Amino acid sequence: MAKEKEIDGIRFSVAPFQAIEALKLKPFLVKKFGPSIGQALGVLKDGLPESGSINDVHLDGAALSQAVEKLMEQLSEDDFISLIKRLFRNVTAFVPKEEKLLELTFTDATFENSMNLVFSGRLFSVYPVMLLVLEANYPDFFGKTAQAIGSRIKKIATSEPAKPSAQSATIKSGT
C-alpha cells in the first residue's frame, strides 16, 4: 500500500519495493545504519504514535540534523547518491507549479532532473522523504519493533539536546 505525506509544500507518494529489492536493501541498511538507529529515532519529536506510523509525526529538526550527520559518516558522496536513487525509485512528487501540478518520478532516466526540480532550495526535505520510504517498505520497524522498545524510544524521541557545560564552552573559546 502506498504511503503519502506532504513535506515542505510538496506531496510525496511512495509505493513499496518489490519483495526481492526490499530484502536485498534491508541488510545493507542495517549494516550501514544500525549503530545510529537510536539517534535516528530521536527525530520523532513527539515519540511514536500508538499506530506505529511515522506518517503524521512531527520531526525534531535539530535531532534529524544530528542523526543525518551520523548516518552520512557511513557513506561516501557517491554511495549516498546511489542510496537515494535506490530508495526513491518508487517515489512520486506532486509539485505545485504556477497553476498546475507537476508529477515527477525518480526513475534512472528522470532522477537527476526530478531531484533538481523537487529539492533545489530545500535539500533538507530529502531526509523526511527517506523516512517515508523506509516506513512504506519496512513498516514492522516503525510499528512492531519500535513499539516493543516502547518507553526507551519515547525517552530518546522526547529528550532535549544536552546543553553545553560551562567548562566545554570555556574550552571551545580557548580561555
What pLDDT does residue 108 have?
Answer: 92
What contacts 49, CB < 8 A, 6 or more positions away?
56, 57
Exposed (0-12), middle (13-18) or buried (19+): which is 119, by Cβ within 10 Å? middle
**Is 90 exceeded by the pLDDT of residue 112?**
yes
Would you say 168 and 175 are in contact if contact means Cβ atoms under 8 Å apart? Answer: no
Q: Which residue has the higher pLDDT, 172 or 43?
A: 43
For the ranges 55-59, 100-104, 133-137, 150-154, the lowest mean pLDDT is seen at: 150-154
pLDDT band at 24 (very low <50, low <70, confident <90, very high): very high
Question: At CA 29, angle to CA 8 and CA 26, rounded to 5?
Answer: 105
What 8-state DSSP symbol labels residue 142? I
Which residue type occupies 14?
A: V
pLDDT at residue 37 tops 50: yes
Average per-residue pLDDT in the chain?
A: 74
Give pLDDT, residue 40: 57
Residue 158 CB contacts under 8 Å (≥ 6 apart), including other chains: 45, 46, 47
Grid cell listed for 73? 559518516
Say if residues 13 and 91 touch (Cβ distance below 8 Å).
yes
Q: Give mean pLDDT, residues 50-73.
A: 61
